[in-house]
């Protein structure tokens, strides 16, 4: 699966909103009948996106965030609306079912704020129903409690283009027959902004922010503030500066992720940019590059994950005993070194000015936003691979990571930050990730990374990080997983790093973690957890068995209990026993996705974007994490893989079992 230049990149799968929001964007931009970025007629492309959107609809008529999730109101409204615009008969059975789901959940007036931006731009709700995002936020100084430096990197790239949309208020008027009047329960509530009143925000803060929202809308009606024109120009330049994924050119690809890549097209059109301008053409090409096209469907990825996939794949290969002497490792390491970030991005605003640019980003190019998680994984892979150039790059990466440690001892995803709880109550914070605070999973991975560069618990950054992780431990002994599903992921990351840095595995907080992970092991030796655990904490560590989560748990067991632990052996045996054979790989009853022999069947989402809002299915998780776990197990038993195949007797495999058994 390795590309010729050395990198790996598996499919990154999101939910239905990627398809529905793309279709809605095309109608907002009046491009549903115009040629696509590659010159093809829209009538050849958009129906394929609609086909895939239909395939994701559940039997009850809803769309949801992941397999096993309940109906998602906003996703169902957008799915229905997109299909109606594409010509689906509202009296067709699948549309009737979807409409009933929406009405049963209180109507389209209860959509989240980010969905209402689409509805407002297509005239289905008033912009009064959308939270005000004044472009003047671009002018707020760093000392001000709310400013762009104090919100997460992804929030910056989302709210800056949307601030232009809420100010310029572009609306395409649709014929009544294409509207969605039938999805609203209350015509009065349809055009009012009441979202903050329905959330778990303390009542006082709800009233406060609703009052601010009303004031901002009154100011808009009288022509805006004296600073509005300046703010619009500054915001426009901010977008253009960050539109180039290489961090330099003023072209498109804002944030290198789907939502801002959509929003910037709507914002720039509202500013008067024409479709033939270079910045718009690049924006369209970058977004359409996320298509995965088959004969009659197109599914859309939220972004590409090559640095993440290559870093983990490299680390897994080194866990199997390979180093830079192996061509696959050498090529992967060389590709990663070439992707080291040299651009001074937004992160620089919160650290000492003399810190040199560094780190690695997630995508093929995203120079404004390297992140700590990717950098930690890449550094581990490069250090393990060996070679002077690789190790030198790894050391530079560690210096960049250390400079971004937060005051609480932990690490966040993109920036050195301080958590400000009040910001979570802002009306447009309903994507559940307004900020980017420290989290135990990234902090634990960072400690594992530091251990490979010789850091121990005797070093002050490590001591502070370990104390942070201990403070975050749940009563049962597990940890919340911010970036993976969920407590199995969080516990894997939080435990392994401290132990690698010298924390004694006999300590009570570590043994408590070990007891918890054993308590959620399933009878067949596997582990699994549904994203439902983000909603219902009684679901911690419970869900369908998956190869990726079993691998995470196996690595916990080996770190805490050693390589001879019988429960570790059961987990490894499950992985070996459920790996797809040649015969199983072509059996669509056991392997509907057509995964190759050597992989595992894993249809569930084990990655997290925004908890409770957006989840991810990384198609390589089911490959490199089991490889990592089995490689560590074999190495601990003195088995070196190298270039030679491993005989089944080396790990005393159980007989093959049916996939899903």
Catalytic annotation, pick one of 371, 373, 374, 408: 373
Q: Annotate 307-353 with three-state secondary structure.
A: HHHHHHHHHHHHHCCCCCCCHHHHHHHHHHHHCCCCCCCHHHHHCCC
How many Å apart are CA 319 and CA 297, to the nearest integer?
Answer: 38
How many Å apart are CA 518 and CA 553, to the nearest integer?
Answer: 9
What is the bridge-based pairing of β-strands 607-610 and 614-618? Answer: antiparallel
Neighbours of 355 (CB within 10 A): 15
The token pair at 162 is 């949307």
241 annotated active-site: no
Strand residue runs (E) in 546-613: 607-610
Residues, the chain: 661
Q: Do 493 and 472 form a contact (C-beta atoms < 8 A)? A: no
Torsion over CA of 529, 532, 535 and 539, rounded to 10 degrees? -50
Closest listed residue to residue 306, CA positions, set 405, 374, 393: 374
Q: Do 354 and 367 form a contact (C-beta atoms < 8 A)? A: no
DSSP 283: H
How many Å apart are CA 73 and CA 498, to the nearest integer?
Answer: 41
Q: Do 457 and 469 form a contact (C-beta atoms < 8 A)? A: no
Neighbours of 368 (CB within 10 A): 29
How many Å apart are CA 235 and CA 248, to the nearest integer?
Answer: 17
Close Cβ partners of 270 (under 8 Å, ≥ 6 residues apart): 164, 165, 168, 169, 170
How many Å apart are CA 458 and CA 501, to the nearest integer?
Answer: 9
How many Å apart are CA 489 and CA 485, to the nearest integer?
Answer: 6
Q: Do 57 and 202 form a contact (C-beta atoms < 8 A)? A: no
> What are phi and psi for residue 332, nearest 5 degrees?
-65, -45
Q: Which residues are catalytic?
A: 373
């Amino acid at each position: 699966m390795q590309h010729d230049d050395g990198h790996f990149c598996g499919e990154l799968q999101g939910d239905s909103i990627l398809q529905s929001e793309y279709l809605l964007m095309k109608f907002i931009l009046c491009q549903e009948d115009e040629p696509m970025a590659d010159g093809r007629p829209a009538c050849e492309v958009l129906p394929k996106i609609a086909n895939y959107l239909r395939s994701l609809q559940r039997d009850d008529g809803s769309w949801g965030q992941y397999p096993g999730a309940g109906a998602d109101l906003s996703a169902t409204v957008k799915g229905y609306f997109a299909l109606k615009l594409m010509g689906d008969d509202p009296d067709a059975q699948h549309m009737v079912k979807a409409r009933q789901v929406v009405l049963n959940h209180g109507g389209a007036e209860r959509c989240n704020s980010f969905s209402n931006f689409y509805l407002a731009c297509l005239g289905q709700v008033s912009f009064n129903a959308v939270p005000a995002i004044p472009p003047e936020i671009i002018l707020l100084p760093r000392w001000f409690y709310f400013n762009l430096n104090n919100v997460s990197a992804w929030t910056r790239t989302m709210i800056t283009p949307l601030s232009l949309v809420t100010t310029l208020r572009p609306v395409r008027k649709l014929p009544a027959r294409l509207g969605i009047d039938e999805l609203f329960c209350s015509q009065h509530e349809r055009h009012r902004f009441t979202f903050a009143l329905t959330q778990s925000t303390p009542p006082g803060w709800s009233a406060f922010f609703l009052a601010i929202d009303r004031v901002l809308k009154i100011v808009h009606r009288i022509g805006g503030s004296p600073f509005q024109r300046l703010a619009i120009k500054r915001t426009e330049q901010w977008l253009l500066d960050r539109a180039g994924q290489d961090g330099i050119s003023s072209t498109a690809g804002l944030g290198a992720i789907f939502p801002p890549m959509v929003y910037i097209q709507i914002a720039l059109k509202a500013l008067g940019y024409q479709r033939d301008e270079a910045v718009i053409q690049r924006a369209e090409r970058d977004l359409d590059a996320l298509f995965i096209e088959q004969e009659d469907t197109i599914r859309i990825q939220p972004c590409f994950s090559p640095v993440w996939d290559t870093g983990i794949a490299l680390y897994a290969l080194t866990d199997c005993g390979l180093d830079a002497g192996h061509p696959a490792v050498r090529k992967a390491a060389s590709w990663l070194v070439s992707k080291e970030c040299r651009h001074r991005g937004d992160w620089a605003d919160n650290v000492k000015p003399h810190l040199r640019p560094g780190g690695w980003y997630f995508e093929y190019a995203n120079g404004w936003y390297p992140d700590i998680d990717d950098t930690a994984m890449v550094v581990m892979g490069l250090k393990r691979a060996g070679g002077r150039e690789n190790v030198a790059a790894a050391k530079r990466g560690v210096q960049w990571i250390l400079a971004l440690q937060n005051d609480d001892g932990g690490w966040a995803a993109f920036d050195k930050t301080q958590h400000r709880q009040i910001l979570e109550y802002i009306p447009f914070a309903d994507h559940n990730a307004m900020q980017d605070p420290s989290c135990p999973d990234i902090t634990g991975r960072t400690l594992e990374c530091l251990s490979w560069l010789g850091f121990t618990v005797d070093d002050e950054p490590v001591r502070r990080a370990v104390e942070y992780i201990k403070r975050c431990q749940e009563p049962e002994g597990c940890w919340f997983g911010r970036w993976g599903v969920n407590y199995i992921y969080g516990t894997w990351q939080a435990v392994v790093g401290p132990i690698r840095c010298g924390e004694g595995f006999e300590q009570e907080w570590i043994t408590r973690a070990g007891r918890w992970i054993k308590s959620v092991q399933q009878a067949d030796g596997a582990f699994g957890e549904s994203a439902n655990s983000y909603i219902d904490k009684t679901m911690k560590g419970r869900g369908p068995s998956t190869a990726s989560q079993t691998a995470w748990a196996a690595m916990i067991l080996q770190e805490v209990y050693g390589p001879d632990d019988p429960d570790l052996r059961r987990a490894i045996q499950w992985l070996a026993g459920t790996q797809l054979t040649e015969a199983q790989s072509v059996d669509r009853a056991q392997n509907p996705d057509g995964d190759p022999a050597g992989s595992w069947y894993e249809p569930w989402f084990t990655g997290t974007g925004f908890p409770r809002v957006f989840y991810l299915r990384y198609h390589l998780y089911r490959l490199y994490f089991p490889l990592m776990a089995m490689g560590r197990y074999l190495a601990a038993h003195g088995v070196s893989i190298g270039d030679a195949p491993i005989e089944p007797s080396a790990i005393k495999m159980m007989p093959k079992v049916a996939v899903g058994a």
